[in-house]
């Protein structure tokens, strides 16, 4: 049995170069190890603990993928289903985009090229030919902008269809610029809160800062020009960005614990874990290279044995990572550093293998 205390100590050492970091290790649904060290942001000093909230960055994509796959299964569908029925009817979707599946979008292999965008930019992208090659992984945030809209239409297709038809007749400009962007973003967030966060017992997760007096103000840039992760320039609920879910490291670890231990219903984990990118080579890449799944990456141990799953995120002066291991164990960390980091999953996996 792997010594989780040793894993924690190893990872804590690897993160010692950061201004601050927090770590949580869950075994099954139980929190086994957690702590913070250093400062929560670079200036002014705020002590980092495992209860300090921050943007989980690209690890939001695992949350979104879990929500989408769970909703697909609840609707009697699979990731092989096409996305066109779940895009706005008022969009003149390009024929190549219309042929994409949910699996293409969630594994970044549909040829979509672009960063996170607002609703109008996403519409323009879907009405144009893809900029990349179908079947080749182009890791692009625009895929998760698209998934926010897709999850909204998966959740309430009849209501959105009626709203769209009504508004298209009476107020087409308002529909395109205000109604659909706001309604789809709100439905996306509501679906995740009800079907992912609530069942996992996470009551304080949000998309972006909730208020300037919230603990999140200890991380995000504010009116006093405090340093921190400053990449949210607009209200994230009103755009189709890469989600930007915000919580503490314990809550994110709790989400992963419920995900990999089959606590959601329907259970999205087997589908997320086993669905490879359409067109992927039959040979699996060797560690530390990952294999794209649905919101996660699969890794092999250096000797080719053992399968591990994880994801990471980084931006500005923050980076995050999680990995899942046999026995329903997951290791999650948040960190801030002007030096940045790469291969966050490798830091965790090396800490695990050395324990």
What would the pLDDT profile of 266-325 be if each residue is shown by its tens digit?
A: 999 999 999 999 988 888 888 878 899 999 999 988 877 778 999 998 877 788 999 999
Q: CA quadruple 337, 55, 39, 42: dihedral positive or negative? A: positive
Place of tokens 């049995």: 1
User: What per-residue confidence (pLDDT) applies to 168?
Assistant: 67
User: What per-residue confidence (pLDDT) applies to 245?
Assistant: 85
pTM here is: 0.90
How far is residue 40's CA from residue 219's CA, in Å, rounded to a whole number? 7
CATH architecture of 4-56+247-353: 2-Layer Sandwich (3.30)
pLDDT digits (tens, 9 = 90+) for 207-258: 765 543 344 344 343 333 433 344 444 444 434 444 678 889 999 999 999 9
Q: Contact, 129 vs 98, CB < 8 A? A: no
User: What per-residue confidence (pLDDT) applies to 355?
Assistant: 94
User: What per-residue confidence (pLDDT) applies to 140?
Assistant: 86
Average pLDDT, the chain: 84
Q: Domain residues of the chain, as ranges?
A: 4-56+247-353, 65-195
Judge whether residue 98 has pLDDT over 70.
yes
Instruction: Determine the distance from the C-alpha atom of residue 123 to the mean position of all C-alpha atoms in its chain, rounded to a whole number.
Output: 21
Q: How confident is the model at residue 173 (pLDDT cuts 50, 70, 90)?
A: low
Q: Contact, 311 vs 62, CB < 8 A? A: yes
Judge whether residue 7 has pLDDT over 60.
yes
Residue 273: CA count within 13 A, CB half-sphere: 15
User: What per-residue confidence (pLDDT) applies to 314?
Assistant: 81
Pair of tokens at residue 200: 């996992």
Between 350 and 304, the more confident residue is 350
Q: Contact, 152 vs 183, CB < 8 A? A: yes
Tell me what the mean pLDDT of segment 191-216 comes to.
Answer: 75
How far is residue 269's CA from residue 274's CA, in Å, rounded to a whole number? 8
Q: Which of 313, 319, 281 is nearest to 296 (CA)?
A: 313
Pair of tokens at residue 273: 């874990």
């Amino acid at each position: 049995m792997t010594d989780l205390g040793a894993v924690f100590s190893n990872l804590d050492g690897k993160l010692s170069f950061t201004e601050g970091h927090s770590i949580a290790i869950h075994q099954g649904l139980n929190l086994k190890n957690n702590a913070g060290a250093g400062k929560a942001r670079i200036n002014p000093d705020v002590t980092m603990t495992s209860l300090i909230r921050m943007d989980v960055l690209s690890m939001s994509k695992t949350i979104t993928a879990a929500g989408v796959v769970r909703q697909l299964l609840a609707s009697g569908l699979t990731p092989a289903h096409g996305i066109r029925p779940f895009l706005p009817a008022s969009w003149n979707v390009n024929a190549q985009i219309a042929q994409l599946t949910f699996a293409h979008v969630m594994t970044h292999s549909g040829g979509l090229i672009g960063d996170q965008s607002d609703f109008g930019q996403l519409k323009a992208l879907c009405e144009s030919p893809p900029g990349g090659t179908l079947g080749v992984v182009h890791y692009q945030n625009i895929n998760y902008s698209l998934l926010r809209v897709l999850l909204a239409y998966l959740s309430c297709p009849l209501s959105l269809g009626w709203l769209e038809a009504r508004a298209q007749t009476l107020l087409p400009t308002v529909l395109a610029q205000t109604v659909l962007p706001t309604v789809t973003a709100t439905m996306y967030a509501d679906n995740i809160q009800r079907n992912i966060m609530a069942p996992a017992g996470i009551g304080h997760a949000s998309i972006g800062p909730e208020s300037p007096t919230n603990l999140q103000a200890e991380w995000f840039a504010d009116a006093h020009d405090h340093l921190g992760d400053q990449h949210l320039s607009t209200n994230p609920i009103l755009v189709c960005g890469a989600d930007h879910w915000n919580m503490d490291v314990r809550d994110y670890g709790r989400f992963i614990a419920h995900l990999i231990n089959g606590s959601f219903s329907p259970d999205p984990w087997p589908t997320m874990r086993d669905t490879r990118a359409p067109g992927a080579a039959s040979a699996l890449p060797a560690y530390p290279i990952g294999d794209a799944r649905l919101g996660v990456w699969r890794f092999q141990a250096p000797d080719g044995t053992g399968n591990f799953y994880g994801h990471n995120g980084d931006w500005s002066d923050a980076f995050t990572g999680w990995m899942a291991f046999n026995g329903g164990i997951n290791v999650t960390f948040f960190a801030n550093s002007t030096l940045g980091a790469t291969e966050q999953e490798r830091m965790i996996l090396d800490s695990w293998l050395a324990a």
